[in-house]
Structure 1
Amino acid sequence: MHNDAQGLESLLAEFARRDNPHLPDAALRAAMQRCVDTGLDQIPLPGSGRTLLRWQRLAAVAGIDLPLLKLYEGHTDALAILHELGFNPPGMQSDLNPPSDRSAVEAPFAKAGVWGVWAAEPPDARVVVNQRKGDQVQLDGRKAWCSGAQLLDYALLTAWANDGTPHLVAVDLKQQSVSFASEHWQAVGMASTASVDVHFERAVGFCVGDSGGYLSRPGFWQGGGGIAAAWYGAAVALANVLRRHRQDGRAEPHADAHLGAVDAALSGAAASLRECAGWIDAHPQQDASLPVQRLRAQVEMAVEQVCRHVGRALGATPFCRDPHFARLAADLPVFIRQSHAERDLAHLGQRVAASATEDWSL
């Protein structure tokens, strides 16, 4: 495992200085490939006793660039899922493809490549398993919200058997039977992640774990805590611009008040992240849904406070003249919508109301 934080920091600094920050697709892919080639993607697994270190790595990447974090988090999440479900990716030789289709990549999944995880299930887009031979399956259908699809080599995606049972499937994206449709992606924030639709037509994949295992495994909610760490890392980067602004010695009482509010919000979120990471490491096989739901709500509220106070304190200047700040400020409101806002809060409230043991005593 690569434990050298300086290596990650060097990569991030180099990426931040890229020549064309407005069209970073090639740089995104190059940065992710470098992570894979140098072992910077080998971060501690959730629940391994070093969950906080894992989250610190995610936060560090998020503080540099959220589209890069989106790829990095998806890739490292996929590696954690493959490990947790005990999947050793085979080669892509296919018994399901007809002889005329030689599109299946013969090299194994295990070669150096970038992975993603696609689990969105909107009602108008579904991938189905039409044939199965052992763990090898044939896929048809459309998968929506596939982040970074055109920058990845492999993906883990949720698919459905004809009897309605869910499966997690590993797919090599270089098959000719896999195609991409980007016409619906009109984002400004997080634009370079290109969360496009992916179409499968007799594509070959391999089932990972048992039916339903993707959602029932402990790592599902543990991974959700990592997303909150990424939100936090981006907010810290914005907050640091305000802190540097106030280190010039000039009297700006209103900016000081905003900085105080930012400090209070971030300090509370950091404490929640440390506490939740510790709980996960102490209970690696238990259901982490309630601690992580609380964590995500707490961090989301803190991030919203940071964005509001930093913007009001600094005015338009960093939005218009600081490229790093401007990118983060545009990307973070989109990225944090991985939270479902009041729907997530309502679910948390229902859990608390139904619990006979949860209370708020010190």
Structure 2
Amino acid sequence: MPNFSEIQACCRELPDDSRYFPTDVFQLLDKQKLLQLSLPKKFRPQDNFPVFKALFETGKASLSVGRIYEGHINGLKLIEDFGSAVQKDFYFGEAKKGKLFSVWNTEMSSQAVKAEKKNNSVHLQGAKIFCSGGLEIDYALITATMRGGKQLLIIHLKEYPQLNEDWSLWKPMGMKNSVSCRIDFTGLKVSLGMLLGNPESYEQEPWFSGGAMRFAAVQLGGAEAVILAVIEHLKKLNRSQDPYQQQRMGIMAVKIQSGKLWLEHAQKLYENFEDYSACEIVNFANMMRSSILEISESVLHLAERSVGVQGFMEDHPLEQVYRDLKVYLKQPGPDLALQNVGSYTFEHYSI
């Protein structure tokens, strides 16, 4: 059983530095076998621990760590879904050794990554931004435009010492330890064996949209960390008996508990996905991310009301997690996700 108290203690020692990768924390995650928990059974060193519980607890310890950890889980999921037998044996073996994976898709249109086959290799041009984990990651799954569509490739980052971390676009208010820098792949030549799946595999449903369940679980962990910071503050000031504070805390507690119900159902769906249609999985993910976004924003608002200006002072228990959650909630397409829930409802609900 993972010791999340130990992980939280390790995360509390992290400097709030946008170029500091949390190496010690990920060594601890590896030691506690959390980097391997989503692997197929033959590669797992122990009985499985619920993935969404792990994402939640990691997010509660540090949203930056949770972001990198979610990317690791995502990368392994893509290899499981689209990798060849040879790729699965190799990369899952690497994950078992504690190697880190990530998925980097975000790019500026003017610098979009393109790939071209030449003889027995693939030549890359372009850059990705918000590359969480940076060059501390061992294997980065990136998307590149190729003839036929958007292609996934697995880049063995340690084999390309010419790669550099560009910090010019990473000056965030929060989520600093996710070290989400820009990396330029122009000039890289990789083998055909690094192609993963077919063109357009990456955006294949239900897991392209369904993956939102993972980051929502991390966000909810951050929202619970906000509540814990508020409780610590109010108890220290002997204000836990104030009726207005109790009312606000009651509202926050109800919201977090409702979020945990989403996590429980997400775990059941994840484990029994064959019982659901692709449309049902996508719709559930859209509902879950929308609900946890609302929960988290409400918790932040109530926490701000409860603590006041003291919560925005450096070194206050609330200050960093508040900033981190504010930034991490800025996931793409929230309005479209909710619109799609409405469209699904009109089509599938009947009087």
Asked whether the two chains share a fold, i.e. TM above 0.5, the reply is yes
CA RMSD in angstroms comes to 3.0
Structure-2 change in CA distance of 1:23 and 1:283 (3 Å): closer
Residue identity opposite 2:349 in structure 1: E
Aligned partner of residue 128 in structure 2, secondary structure: strand
Q: Is the Cα–Cα contact under 8 Å of residues 129 and 183 in structure 2 kept in the other structure?
A: yes
Alignment match, 1:269? 259
For residues 222-266 of structure 1, give each alpha carbon's deviation from its aligned partner in whole angstroms, at most 9, with x where no partner exists: 422011111100001111233455665753121112112212222
Aligned-partner Cα distance in 2 for 1:14–1:64: 9
Residue identity opposite 1:69 in structure 2: G
Structure-2 change in CA distance of 1:275 and 1:258 (3 Å): same
Structure 1 position 38, deviation (Å): 5.0
For residues 95-137 of structure 1, give each alpha carbon's deviation from its aligned partner in whole angstroms, at most 9, with x where no partner exists: xxxxxxxxxxxxx966643221012254223111112566x52
Residue 100 (structure 2) aligned to one of 114, 117, 124:
114
Is residue 347 from structure 1 mapped to residue 347 from structure 2 by the alignment?
no
Q: Is the Cα–Cα contact under 8 Å of residues 230 and 318 in structure 2 kept in the other structure?
A: no
Structure 1 position 154, deviation (Å): 1.9
Structure-2 change in CA distance of 1:336 and 1:249 (3 Å): closer
Q: Following superposition of structure 1 onto structure 2, how do residues 14-33 of structure 1 map, counting pairs within 5 Å?
A: 14-16=10-12, 18=13, 21-23=15-17, 25-26=19-20, 28-33=22-27
Residue identity opposite 1:58 in structure 2: L
Q: Is the Cα–Cα contact under 8 Å of residues 122 and 144 in structure 1 kept in the other structure?
A: yes
Residue 292 (structure 2) aligned to one of 289, 299, 306:
299
Q: Is the Cα–Cα contact under 8 Å of residues 45 and 54 in structure 1 kept in the other structure?
A: no
Aligned partner of residue 103 in structure 2, secondary structure: strand
Structure-2 change in CA distance of 1:177 and 1:25 (3 Å): closer
Aligned-partner Cα distance in 1 for 2:11–2:252: 27
Residue 246 (structure 2) aligned to one of 231, 256, 270:
256
Aligned partner of residue 330 in structure 1, secondary structure: helix
Residue 154 (structure 2) aligned to one of 170, 185, 197:
170
Q: Is the Cα–Cα contact under 8 Å of residues 240 and 246 in structure 2 kept in the other structure?
A: no
Alignment match, 2:52? 55
Alignment match, 1:199? 184
Alignment match, 2:43? none
Is residue 231 from structure 1 mapped to residue 231 from structure 2 by the alignment?
no
Structure 1 position 310, deviation (Å): 1.1
For residues 171-202 of structure 1, give each alpha carbon's deviation from its aligned partner in whole angstroms, at most 9, with x where no partner exists: 02230453332212221211232322211113
Is residue 12 from structure 1 mapped to residue 3 from structure 2 by the alignment?
no
Aligned-partner Cα distance in 1 for 2:253–2:155: 44
Aligned-partner Cα distance in 2 for 1:82–1:348: 28
Q: Is the Cα–Cα contact under 8 Å of residues 63 and 219 in structure 2 kept in the other structure?
A: no
More helix by share: 2
Residue 129 (structure 1) aligned to one of 99, 109, 115:
115
Structure 1 position 333, deviation (Å): 0.7
Alignment match, 2:128? 143
Aligned-partner Cα distance in 2 for 1:180–1:250: 46
Alignment match, 1:181? 166
Aligned-partner Cα distance in 2 for 1:109–1:282: 26
Q: Is the Cα–Cα contact under 8 Å of residues 71 and 101 in structure 2 kept in the other structure?
A: yes
Structure 1 position 89, deviation (Å): 4.1
For residues 140-192 of structure 1, give each alpha carbon's deviation from its aligned partner in whole angstroms, at most 9, with x where no partner exists: 2222222222332220011111x241111000223045333221222121123
Aligned-partner Cα distance in 2 for 1:275–1:159: 34
Q: Is the Cα–Cα contact under 8 Å of residues 71 and 116 in structure 1 kept in the other structure?
A: yes
Aligned-partner Cα distance in 1 for 2:333–2:303: 24
Is residue 209 from structure 1 mapped to residue 197 from structure 2 by the alignment?
yes
Q: Following superposition of structure 1 onto structure 2, how do residues 283-322 of structure 1 map, counting pairs within 5 Å?
A: 283-284=273-274, 286-287=277-278, 288-320=281-313, 322=315
Aligned-partner Cα distance in 2 for 1:229–1:112: 22
Q: Is the Cα–Cα contact under 8 Å of residues 72 and 100 in structure 2 kept in the other structure?
A: yes
Residue identity opposite 2:341 in structure 1: L
Aligned partner of residue 179 in structure 1, secondary structure: coil
